Amino acid sequence: MDRSFCIAPMMAKTDKQFRFLVRQLTKKSILFTEMIHTNSILFGNQNKLLEYSEIENPIVLQLGGNDPISLSKVCLMANKLNYDEINLNLGCPSSKVKSGNFGAALMKQPDLVKDCLIAMQEASSKPISVKIRLGIDDLDINESLDRFVSEVSSTGIKVFYVHARKALLDKLSPKDNREIPPLNYSRVMKLKEDFNDLEIIVNGGIKDYYKEKDNFSTLDGIMIGREAYSYPKKLENVDSIFYKKNDKNNSLISITKNMFDYFETLDKKNEIKRGLIHMHGLYNGLKNARKIRILLSNSSFFKPAKNEIIDLINDNYKNAA
């Protein structure tokens, strides 16, 4: 699987509706589900949590959890589905994650992480990967990180998605942990230099990803999160620049029509509402963007809103001509 360009897993964002939107703009990039805790799958609505459409491939199922048996059971379930990879989250910094002893908190427990990954690999027919931080709390980003990566890779794990920041679980909120700890891309590059047999994909704070592509040429890929969510239209050149695929881009009008047609296939109003919210960033930069966002905010009115939005897009193009 070519991991040159990946869309980061984001809670309440990278659901099936947003992934469908992304696929209108890039066919080749790697998509991730939101992080799903194993207990939610084992004791909840498995079909709803794991469902996706084939248009979304290549796609990675990201799991949260700390119990090897539970992770193994979920991997067995996923064997029946067409996910391309399963990822264990070792980087989420939320207080809920810390209190539940999963996500980034597990970076202090490499032996437990190894048990989890061994169980996952034994159960899964898919490749297993991890998403990590440079470190957490009092763990240094040099020897401690090298030791952690060495121990994890000893289980056979070859793919590491690395957020280029530490996580300060005792001091910062999840939002602040995405912004305040300094980015350290050079440390990620050094990790690749020292573990050149591993695939290392860098994540964190990358905005102008077309311009910065060459800066990360020694790595195996880049992962984009909030920038992709806030400005999805920027993704339209990913396939040509990162994958040398020169397929014709969908127009903004075509994407809008495709999204509204997709909403017709959804059963629940809250699913439609979430999908409409995900579209807000699609129109950033248009003169009529605010009017379009107002129309998108009324999910009970979404069918007639389609034509109004298309008229506003056309109006923007006419005025720009």
Please list the active-site residues.
92
Q: 189 near 219, Cβ under 8 Å?
A: yes
- 27: tokens are 């066919």
Query: How far apart are the C-alpha atoms of 133 and 203, rounded to whole Å?
Result: 9
Give exposure, 84-112, as e/b (b: 16+ Cβ within 10 Å): ebbbbbbbbbbeebbeeebbbbbbbbbee
In the chain, how long is the greatest CA-to-CA distance?
Answer: 62
Half-sphere exposure for 245 (CA within 13 Å, toward CB): 16
- Separation of alpha carbons 206 and 221, rounded Å: 12
> At 53, phi and psi to the nearest 5?
-105, 155
Number of C-alpha atoms within 13 angstroms, CB side, residue 84?
Answer: 17
Please state the separation of Cα 15 from the chain's center in Å.
9
